Amino acid sequence: MSVLLIAGSPSERSRTAALLEAVGQRLENLRVSVDRIRVRDLSPQALLLADFGHPSVLAASAQVAAADVLVVATPVYKAAYSGVLKVFLDLLPQTALKGKTVLPLATGGSPHHMLALDYALRPVLQSLGAKHILPGIYATDAQVTLTPEGAYQVAPDIAERLDDAVHLLLTESLRPRAPVSGRFEPVPFAQVRCSV
């Protein structure tokens, strides 16, 4: 199994990236193969101008295709996820997350926008075909603090939630997919009939 960490903050020193890396370290301690994308490292021009064929976009898209599991991390910006993460997700193929398990993470200045993971990011991940989107983890800036040495550390309650999330992520991604015949098929919008 391979896991791809996607860091969606434009900032070089990033609490979001620290939260994401805390997940990455837990996975690597369990000898899980971990790959990484920092969206801020992709060509800004390619992101802004939706250059689907740019080498940095193609390489990142290939990393997504190769992963079984994605951990997608974003800061909350204006009550939603970051713009750079959106322009990156916009450049992926429509079914880029088909069959994949996704763990969403976010950091925010206050707890007020913790639902942004669910009302903003989750529908986009769903539209890209994610098989299973795990419950997200939201940390406030007060829960991702600087040590005297200048590194970010996560608060114990967040660390505990990350432990649980990694456990769930490994369990869910190894769970066999239910046979299609046992599930409802999606209904094309044109075939939806109202009763009024």
* Residue ranges that bind ligand FMN, judged by CB under 6 A: 9, 11, 14-17, 75-79, 107-110, 112-113, 141
100 or 108: whose CB is closer to ligand FMN?
A: 108
Provide the minimum distance between the beta carbon of 25 and ligand FMN in the complex, in angstroms, as a whole number: 17
Provide the minimum distance between the beta carbon of 9 and ligand FMN in the complex, in angstroms, as a whole number: 3
55 or 109: whose CB is closer to ligand FMN?
A: 109
DSSP string for the chain: -EEEEEE--S-SS-HHHHHHHHHHHHHHHTT-EEEEEEGGGS-HHHHHTT-TT-HHHHHHHHHHHH-SEEEEEEE-BTTB--HHHHHHHHTS-TTTTBT-EEEEEEEESSGGGTTHIIIIIHHHHHHTTBSEEPPPEEEEGGGEEE-TTS-EEE-HHHHHHHHHHHHHHHHHHHSPPPPGGGSPPPPPGGG-----
Provide the minimum distance between the beta carbon of 90 and ligand FMN in the complex, in angstroms, as a whole number: 19
Provide the minimum distance between the beta carbon of 169 and ligand FMN in the complex, in angstroms, as a whole number: 21
18 or 32: whose CB is closer to ligand FMN?
A: 18
64 or 81: whose CB is closer to ligand FMN?
A: 81
User: Rounded to an integer, what distance in angstroms lies between the CA atom of residue 184 and that of residue 182?
Assistant: 7
132 or 161: whose CB is closer to ligand FMN?
A: 161
User: 107 has which bridge partners?
Assistant: 75, 139
User: Rounded to an integer, what distance in angstroms lies between the CA atom of residue 87 and that of residue 64?
Assistant: 15
Provide the minimum distance between the beta carbon of 154 and ligand FMN in the complex, in angstroms, as a whole number: 12
- φ, ψ of residue 24 to 5 degrees: the values are -60, -40
Provide the minimum distance between the beta carbon of 62 and ligand FMN in the complex, in angstroms, as a whole number: 25
114 or 168: whose CB is closer to ligand FMN?
A: 114
